[in-house]
Amino acid sequence: MTWVAWRVQRLQYLAAAGGVASLVVWLVASGLDGQARWSQMSDTGGVYVLYALPGVLGLALGASLVAIEAERGTNRVAWTQSVTRDRWLARKLVIGAVVSGGLVAVLMPLLGWWIGATRSGPDIVARNFGITGVVSVGYVLFAYLLGAALGAVIRRPGWAFAAGVPLFTAARLLIDGLRPVLVPPATASYPAQPATEPGGWVLNAAYLPLGRTSPAPGQTWASPWDRLGGCFYRTQPQPALDRCAARAHLHFVFEYQPASHYWALQGTETAVYAALALALAAATVAAVRRWQA
């Protein structure tokens, strides 16, 4: 049964492996050559390619997993060979998950090196976080199970993939927006606004009343200047601004995710996507059980 499940999807799996191999060549070439065009464009084109990879790969493999069987009617052949629907589907889901997750997992060490080779800054910053660590494996598994669930419902691989793109994008945007609070952020306070920010991913910064490291209830992280009142003028030098803040009994507070929170955030976000993937797997099983034999 395992061999049959592999054989049905082998062309898709081999095509995906070939695409990943091509990406490996590009990453190595652009990382070693600091003047490479793609390396210099890594803040735009290169990062977009790497951000899109898990979603495209997972949806492409998942959307055709069971939809193509329903489209061709080959699932009925398997079900007449003393193979239950659940066992048939479980083998297909597991093999596809191993292939898609494995292809992305092998890229993770290389991507970590590539980020260091082509840009500076800690990996925890938002522009790097989603293409390093283990969270990309969570992305691809979620996309894979999303494609499988949609394929089981729509039963057309192309339409399942098309429907999955906006859904996956919406989920990424939503969870990316929640990332700053998945792990409680740290704070750093100073008597006056410092010349440099603390290392890591700065979320908010403002003048706050002495004794507070977050806005008072009912208030938000407003512009740092709002609490300085009438003593602030945009032409003031920094020393005068510092005296203004001192008279108003304010100190300057940063809210940020330090680099030490990197793996905690990676693990938490990966767990969120894994939980969503398990829910989608259950939805796929439920949908296939409703198919006519």
The reported pLDDT for the residue numbered 293 is 58
Higher pLDDT, 191 or 244: 191
Residue ranges making up the domain that contains 18: 2-183+260-289
Least confident among 63-72, 118-127, 129-138: 118-127
Residue 79 binned pLDDT confidence (cut-offs 50, 70, 90)? low
Mean predicted confidence (pLDDT) in 109-138: 77
Same domain (yes/no): 285, 173:
yes
Residue 282 and residue 143 share a domain: yes
Amino acid (one-letter) located at 208? L
Please indicate, yes or no, whether residues 220 and 127 belong to a single structural domain of this protein.
no
Residues 62 and 115 in one domain: yes
Quote the radius of gyration of the chain (alpha carbons, Å): 25
Asked which of 59-63, 103-107, 144-148, 288-292 is least confident by mean pLDDT, the reply is: 288-292
- pLDDT at residue 291, rounded to an integer: 74
| 49: pLDDT strictly greater than 90 | no
* Pair 104, 222 in one domain: no
Regarding whether 97 and 22 lie in a shared domain, the answer is yes
pLDDT at 10 > cutoff 80: no
Phi-psi map region of 36: left, alpha, beta (phi>0 left; psi -120 to 50 alpha): beta
pLDDT digits (tens, 9 = 90+) for 227-251: 566 565 555 677 777 778 788 788 8
The tally of domains found in the chain comes to: 2
Give the Cα separation of 188 and 173 in Å (integer): 28
| Residues 139/145/149/155 CA torsion (nearest 10 deg) | 100
What integer pLDDT is reported at residue 65 of this predicted model?
Answer: 85
Q: Say if CB 157 and CB 262 are below 8 A apart.
A: no
Q: Are residues 10 and 143 in the same domain?
A: yes
Q: What is the pTM of this model?
A: 0.83
> Is the domain of 79 the same as that of 142?
yes
Q: What is the 3-state secondary structure (H, E, C) of the chain?
A: CHHHHHHHHHHHHHHHHHHHHHHHHHHHHHHHCCCCHHHHCHHHHHHHHHHHHHHHHHHHHHHCCCHHHHHHCHHHHHHCCCCCHHHHHHHHHHHHHHHHHHHHHCCHHHHHHHHHHHCCCCCCCHHHHCCCCCHHHHHHHHHHHHHHHHHHHHCCHHHHHHHHHHHHHHHHHHHHHHHHHHCCCEEEEECCCCCCCCCCEEEEEEEEECCCCCCCCCCCCCCCCHHHHHHCCCCCCHHHHHHHHHHCCEEEEEEEECHHHHHHHHHHHHHHHHHHHHHHHHHHHHHHHCCCC
Same domain, 206 and 152: no
Both 25 and 94 in a single domain?
yes
Q: Does 235 lie in the same domain as 284?
A: no
269 or 249, which is more confident? 269
The pLDDT value recorded for residue 211 is 86
Cβ contacts of 197 within 8 Å, gap of 6 or more: 205, 254, 256
Q: What is the mean pLDDT of residues 143-168?
A: 93
**Residue 69, CA distances (Å) to 153, 194, 233 in order:** 12, 62, 69
**Confidence at 54, pLDDT banded by 50, 70, 90:** very high
The residue among 122, 132, 124 whose CA lies nearest residue 257 is 124
Report the mean per-residue pLDDT for the chain.
Answer: 81
Average pLDDT estimate for 148-163? 91
If asked whether residues 194 and 49 sit together in one domain, one would say: no
